[in-house]
């Protein structure tokens, strides 16, 4: 074989391989910038060594994504140099996760720069041993910001000067520090188009946490603190579709009616008059998840859930079966019932009463209930077995009954299944699943 032909063939093959390998460089700038926006900024800058095509492309990326956790060799000065070196173009997204090594004075400067360059999304997650991070004053008049996430060592002190988050749609506040009650009220009143609000709190300076946002559609509150009967929430959100509260103790509540509410979750609240929570949502809610003891709902026994079609109830609380019967009696349109348990079952010695069948069968069992699901069912416990049999023998229109028994041996499962199989079901067309 001619050696020159072999060399020419080898060169052509290498060129074809090289062309295929670098085909991404032929993509338009807009598409390449979009790709670069999906990776951490530290890696974005490193692409400058790939070829001349990539030398200055990183300077136009409209996103800064920096986390000291993913690249601990990189100094926080990297952020400073990146902002100074980039071209004067839009910086639409900034995500900063910085540790105690970062000078607190730098963060407001970086945010101020981003606001001046069309910031639309900000996530700030700082840790500082020298005090909380204060936001720059210009952010409170940022008309382009659409998504704002603040975590931990961030101090929110909304000024008395005009404040307007005109475009803000999503706001997430996780263990931030507010100056006082008024600062909270001014923050939310400055968001005329806010649709989603997630709040996680512990002990802070706020006594009455006021949320008055007519445009709000989704509200999640996770409170890890004790209100001591002196602290509270004031909620006025007439457009709310989704409402979730979790983990609070001894708080006062003032909630306006929620005519648009479709789904609510009330999980692990203690020493609270739950009537003030449940009553405003009872006339509109369609999906309801509860993890409460009957003692927490002693004020709401007569509350009627006129639109409720889906109910999820935790069986982890003492005497949960009494609460279940109250809810079934007051939910005439219920179609789906789900029982679940996240915690280990309490021992028999801790139970304060036993299951008693109500005098009248709940109307939803006679006319509406179509699906019954029980996660972590333990039919070896008398109360659980009696509740299961009561529903199966009274739900006349049930189409599906599904029981799952996690971490149970085959013999235990078989015993539980035999007990349920003995009872005749009210609905002959019901499909029965036991896992």
pLDDT in tens, 312-362: 999 988 888 988 999 999 999 999 999 998 765 444 444 456 788 888 999
Q: Indicate the DSSP class of residue 77.
A: H
Q: Indicate the DSSP class of residue 249.
A: B
Q: Where are the beta strands (DSSP E) in 19-142?
A: 63-67, 93-98, 121-126, 133-134
Look up the pTM and report it: 0.86
CB proximity list for 221: less than 8 A, separation 6 or greater: 199, 200, 201, 233, 244, 245, 246, 248
Task: Specify whether the CB–CB gap between 333 and 369 falls below 8 A.
Answer: no
- Distance of alpha carbon 155 from alpha carbon 301, whole angstroms: 42
* Token representation of residue 382: 């008398």
- Distance of alpha carbon 178 from alpha carbon 156, whole angstroms: 5
CB proximity list for 100: less than 8 A, separation 6 or greater: 127, 128, 129, 130
pLDDT tens, position by position, 35-76: 888 998 988 998 888 888 888 899 999 999 998 776 655 666
- Distance of alpha carbon 221 from alpha carbon 265, whole angstroms: 10
* Token representation of residue 5: 């032909």
83 SS3 class: helix
Q: Indicate the DSSP class of residue 376.
A: T
The residue-averaged pLDDT of 77-84 equals 88
Task: Specify whether the CB–CB gap between 35 and 44 falls below 8 A.
Answer: no
Strands 252-255 and 242-246: what pairing? unpaired
């Amino acid at each position: 074989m001619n050696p020159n032909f072999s060399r020419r063939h080898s060169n052509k093959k290498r060129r074809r391989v090289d062309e295929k390998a670098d085909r991404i460089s032929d993509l338009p700038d807009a598409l390449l910038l979009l790709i670069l926006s999906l990776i951490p900024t530290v890696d974005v800058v490193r692409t400058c060594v790939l070829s001349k095509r990539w030398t200055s492309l990183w300077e136009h990326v409209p996103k800064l994504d920096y986390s000291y956790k993913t690249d601990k060799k990189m100094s926080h000065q990297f952020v400073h140099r990146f902002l100074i070196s980039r071209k004067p173009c839009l910086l639409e997204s900034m995500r900063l996760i910085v540790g105690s090594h970062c000078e607190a004075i730098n963060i407001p400067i970086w945010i101020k720069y981003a606001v001046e360059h069309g910031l639309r999304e900000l996530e700030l997650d700082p840790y500082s041993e020298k005090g909380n991070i204060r936001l720059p004053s210009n952010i409170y008049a940022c008309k382009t910001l659409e998504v704002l996430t603040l975590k931990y060592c961030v101090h929110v002190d909304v000024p008395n000067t005009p404040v307007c988050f005109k475009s803000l749609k999503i706001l997430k506040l996780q263990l931030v520090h507010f100056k006082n009650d008024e600062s909270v009220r001014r923050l939310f009143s400055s968001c005329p188009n806010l649709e989603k609000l997630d709040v996680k709190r512990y002990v802070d300076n706020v006594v009455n946490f006021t949320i008055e946002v007519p445009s709000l559609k989704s509200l999640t509150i996770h409170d890890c603190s004790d209100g001591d009967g002196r602290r509270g929430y004031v909620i006025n959100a007439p457009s709310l579709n989704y409402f979730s509260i979790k983990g609070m103790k001894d708080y006062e509540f003032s909630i306006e009616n929620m005519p648009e509410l479709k789904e609510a979750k009330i999980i692990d609240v203690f020493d609270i008059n739950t009537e003030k929570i449940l009553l405003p949502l009872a006339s509109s809610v369609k999906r309801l998840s509860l993890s409460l003891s009957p003692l927490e709902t002693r004020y709401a026994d007569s509350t009627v859930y006129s639109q409720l079609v889906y109910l999820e109830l935790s069986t982890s609380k003492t005497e949960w079966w009494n609460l279940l019967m109250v809810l079934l009696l007051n939910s005439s349109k219920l179609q789906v019932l789900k029982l679940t348990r996240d915690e280990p079952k309490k021992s028999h010695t801790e139970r304060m009463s036993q299951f008693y069948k109500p005098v009248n069968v709940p109307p939803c069992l006679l006319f509406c209930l179509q699906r019954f699901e029980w996660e972590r069912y333990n039919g070896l416990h008398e109360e659980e077995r009696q509740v299961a049999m009561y529903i199966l023998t009274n739900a006349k229109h049930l189409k599906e009954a599904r029981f799952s028994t996690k971490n149970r041996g085959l013999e235990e499962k078989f015993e539980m299944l035999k007990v349920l199989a003995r009872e005749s079901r009210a609905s002959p067309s019901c499909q029965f699943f036991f896992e």
